[in-house]
A and B are shown apart, each in its own frame.
Chain A
């Protein structure tokens, strides 16, 4: 086997150029959550992050906190306030976390409020809201918080009644003593309870699943629902002060570009302009540093946008000034057609190809896509007496605080980061360059509050884009239609280029997103990862590398089934093989989403289960007129199992509509099924969006899409009219949780394209679809 997964460990490498190896290591840890093993660059550099591997939340910086005094406050009027330390971006965490606490606490949901934690991981535990892990990592600590607080209330009641604590119990916001019929409300007990010792962790009694009041149930109203529909909800773009200034920034159009010369006279004379500043140049390694640029500061955002058009800037584009996505695609294709670094191998693929009755080969292209959160990047900062306060829609509060402190040159303790609601995140707002910009501009304006708003053009020109990929697949099928050999080359620039030298290969978390950990029963397999170099900021976009990997693999399986003359579902189930538990290490997946391979094996029975369920529910096998069809895809990601059937209608001009999507989903225990459904509904729409329209292209190093007329996303009239969701009930609540926010997306694009094939015979191998369904 290749050296890529070797287990040797060397002392932590320190990059003398950066001189802040800890910070970089922290970034990588946050990114990968691999616990003890961290593999970067070409596979030869392994950082020893800890002696023993740590998994789950324990492998994340600052782990978890389960102290009820940190997370739960009960007022004397009985109002329960639950602190939520993860960022709300639509996934429902500000409802989900309080729901867990309230359940164990026996609180009445109508008397529960939520308070957003500022950035402070020492106090709250890890706050990086990405990787589909908030509920998975914090269900247990939050349950313990609620249960410990409940036990303290029970203890306080027992003490006041002079009865054994075993005779009392909390029930729906009261503690009751059944023998005497006495009751005390939570509010009446709050003061006495707060003075008691917090019960030791191993004495905290959690509810059994049968006792759950809210977890696993439906119908919980959103805690922020009223504020959102009345315009009161506060996003990062909303803080407002009377003396506030408003800024937009003209940034380098090319990654790493610098300002050669600029003229600002005309802009400075534009109405409402207060100041024009040049921002400091970015450093060589992108991380989340602001890009080089010129800031226009005004008395309104509109005035700043108008004046910015009058700037005259000469850019030195630097080394990425020739980035051209057409040429780059040709390069990726060339790389994908030649042997690359072997990342997993079993049997003898080449020999098996020779003995195959039939060999099928296909190549798929998945372009850069932009997050395009409806709230563009934005932040507010002010500095008073050397202390900086930031209001930011950030998925990474702690990193935001660290970055702001570093760029301002002030201590970490002198920075407060207020986490607002996020108007969409999808991974974009894990990279808080926008917050650093606001802080720098406030510093330049002597501490006055400054709001930085990215226009949509800024957002689409300077995003941390989803990678671009070619997936090259080749398979040999025997005379009976069984796949006996499988070669897959995945080639894509890595997001690890943000943090150091370009590794030119996918790093373990990228490989582990549905590529290296393919759990199919194929005797001869070789997976290769040829080189690719990054020329723009690559970041994680919801579902990350699962999108290209699933698109390639799930489209190819459909092609194989068609070539073998078999039903796609039956063929896919055969390929997966019988139900079994697979240790991801045997698939050379050293990452496994940062989770224990024992606790989280790959369960092909569950993968089969979602395929069987979704095809049954969607009426798989239904016969349609030409131009109308069903497509299937299934994908395991973020420790959850998802399968989708997409129904399409393609008219004579090639226009595609999607009347219906079915998704079957198995994430183990479901804390808030209502929000799981919402996330899957959203995943269906986002998957269709990226498949139909999603593409950022580059010419001369510059993103070519300016706004929503050029970077299209799915609208009401293009969205599926019906989305049917089929949640697989957990076997029990001892099963570990899978992720929810991301795993719904990857199967959608291949299921859609497979449906177009079923409807028209047209095979789409290059995303986005645009008009391709009408050709051929």
Chain B
């Protein structure tokens, strides 16, 4: 099958049912997208499909054919993604950092649709992403900071 990942067309041979997560990680070696639960419960595997935050662990890769897939490796080329990555570093959000790729992808989808999210918007968009280290206060602050930045970048 042919996948459009981070603006590149990639040919990959995979079983129809294999989830996008394992196609990315195991077949393509794109390991920035993380495995956390396999049931769309934790958000570690979040990618953007046509701009929407999708849990790649439960999406068969075959269903992503013909759509634009953005991963953590590619999100920095968008203004919103770059602003988020910058804000994340300025606030030193990560502890272990494992969940942060998924957090940033969910935040990117949020800011794309809602450039100035309220706390309730952030709760709604981000509560599918677990951080076991407990960086939530800083994630919230980084999203708000990036929201300011992404406005300037437009």
B139 to A374, Cβ gap below 8 A? Answer: no
Cα distance A713–B136 when bound, in Å?
12
Q: Is B21 an interface residue (CB 8 A)?
A: yes
Return the 4 tightest CB-CB contacts between A and B, nearest first: A231-B32, A685-B134, A423-B98, A90-B95
| A716 touching B132 in the complex, CB below 8 Å, given contacts A225-B89, A300-B18 | no
In the complex, the chain B residue whose C-beta lies closest to that of A373 is B132
Contact with B along A204-231 (1 / 0, CB 8 A): 0000000000000000011011101111
Q: Is A372 an interface residue (CB 8 A)?
A: yes
B31 to A237, Cβ gap below 8 A? Answer: yes
Q: Is B72 an interface residue (CB 8 A)?
A: yes
Could you say which of B17, B41, B96 contacts A707, with CB atoms under 8 Å apart?
B41
Cα distance A235–B36 when bound, in Å?
13
Cα distance A240–B41 when bound, in Å?
25
B133 to A682, Cβ gap below 8 A? Answer: yes
Contact residues of A between 658 and 709, Cβ < 8 Å to B: 674, 678-679, 681-686, 689, 707-709
Cα distance A674–B15 when bound, in Å?
47
Cα distance A232–B137 when bound, in Å?
24
Contact residues of B between 82 and 96, Cβ < 8 Å to A: 84-85, 88-89, 92-96
> How far is the CB of B47 from the nearest CB of chain A, in Å?
11
A235 to B98, Cβ gap below 8 A? Answer: yes
Contact with A along B27-64 (1 / 0, CB 8 A): 10101111111110110100000000000000000000
Cα distance A395–B22 when bound, in Å?
26
Interface of B is mostly: loop
Can you give 8 A-B contacts (C-beta < 8 A)?
A222-B89, A231-B31, A240-B26, A244-B26, A302-B21, A374-B44, A374-B99, A715-B128
Residues of A within 8 A of B100 (CB): 228-229
B18 to A226, Cβ gap below 8 A? Answer: no
Which of A160-168, A398-406, A466-474, A719-727 touches B?
Answer: A719-727
Q: Is A301 an interface residue (CB 8 A)?
A: yes
Q: Is A376 an interface residue (CB 8 A)?
A: yes
Cα distance A233–B127 when bound, in Å?
24
Q: Is A375 an interface residue (CB 8 A)?
A: yes
In the complex, the chain A residue whose C-beta lies closest to that of B99 is A374
A222 to B132, Cβ gap below 8 A? Answer: no
In the complex, the chain B residue whose C-beta lies closest to that of A226 is B89
Residues of B within 8 A of A244 (CB): 26
Q: Is B123 an interface residue (CB 8 A)?
A: yes
Could you say which of A90, A229, A231, A271 contacts B96, with CB atoms under 8 Å apart?
A90
Cα distance A684–B131 when bound, in Å?
13
Could you say which of B29, B122, B133, B137 contacts A722, with CB atoms under 8 Å apart?
B137
Number of A-B contacts (CB under 8 A): 201
Cα distance A299–B27 when bound, in Å?
8
Cα distance A464–B88 when bound, in Å?
33
B34 to A375, Cβ gap below 8 A? Answer: yes
Chain B residues proximal to chain A, CB less than 8 Å: 14-15, 17-19, 21-23, 25-27, 29, 31-39, 41-42, 44, 71-73, 76, 84-85, 88-89, 92-101, 104, 119, 122-124, 126-140
Residues of B within 8 A of A246 (CB): 26
Residues of A within 8 A of B29 (CB): 240
> How far is the CB of A607 from the nearest CB of chain B, in Å?
24
Q: Is A48 an interface residue (CB 8 A)?
A: no
Q: Is A81 an interface residue (CB 8 A)?
A: no
Cα distance A221–B85 when bound, in Å?
13
Cα distance A225–B128 when bound, in Å?
23
Chain A residues proximal to chain B, CB less than 8 Å: 88-92, 221-222, 224-226, 228-235, 237-238, 240, 244, 246, 271-272, 299-303, 305-306, 372-376, 421-426, 453, 455-457, 674, 678-679, 681-686, 689, 707-709, 713-723
In the complex, the chain B residue whose C-beta lies closest to that of A706 is B39
Residues of A within 8 A of B44 (CB): 374
Could you say which of B27, B94, B98, B136 contacts A222, with CB atoms under 8 Å apart?
B94
Residues of A within 8 A of B34 (CB): 235, 237, 374-375, 423
Known: A229-B89, A374-B34. 14 other contacts (CB 8 A): A225-B92, A229-B85, A231-B71, A231-B101, A234-B31, A244-B26, A299-B27, A374-B42, A374-B98, A376-B35, A424-B132, A424-B133, A685-B131, A716-B123
Among B23, B88, B119, B137, the one with the most A-chain Cβ atoms within 10 Å of its Cβ is B137
B134 to A714, Cβ gap below 8 A? Answer: yes
> How far is the CB of B42 from the nearest CB of chain A, in Å?
6
Cα distance A237–B44 when bound, in Å?
13
In the complex, the chain A residue whose C-beta lies closest to that of B71 is A231
Cα distance A719–B141 when bound, in Å?
13
> How far is the CB of B131 from the nearest CB of chain A, in Å?
7
Cα distance A301–B57 when bound, in Å?
11
In the complex, the chain A residue whose C-beta lies closest to that of B125 is A716
